[in-house]
């Protein structure tokens, strides 16, 4: 696989771009988790066990 990638021109740009996209998504997820109020996280975590919202 690495031999195939070595033969392509500009493959470094794709690798760098994919790394940057991964880092942006990962950092934004961490920032979102830090910003969301604890009550919201608690209510989301209890959704599978909550009988008030039974959609069956």
pTM, entire model:
0.59
pLDDT number for residue 23: 98
Mean pLDDT of the chain: 82
- What is the dihedral angle through the alpha carbons of 45, 48, 53, 55, rounded to the nearest 10 degrees? 140
Per DSSP, the chain holds a count of helices (H) and strands (E) of 3, 0
Predicted confidence band of residue 51 (pLDDT cuts 50, 70, 90): low
pLDDT tens column, 25-48: 999 999 999 999 999 988 888 887
Separation of CA 36 from chain center? 15
Is the four-CA dihedral 41, 42, 45, 47 of positive or negative sign? Answer: negative
Question: What is d(CA 15, CA 7) in angstroms, rounded to the nearest whole number?
Answer: 14
Predicted confidence band of residue 11 (pLDDT cuts 50, 70, 90): confident
Q: Flag whether pLDDT at 1 surpasses 90.
A: no
């Amino acid at each position: 696989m690495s031999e195939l990638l070595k033969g392509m021109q500009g493959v470094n740009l794709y690798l760098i771009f994919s790394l940057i996209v991964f880092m942006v998504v990962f950092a934004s997820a961490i920032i979102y988790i830090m910003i969301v109020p604890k009550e919201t996280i608690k209510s989301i975590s209890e959704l599978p066990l909550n009988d008030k919202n039974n959609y069956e």
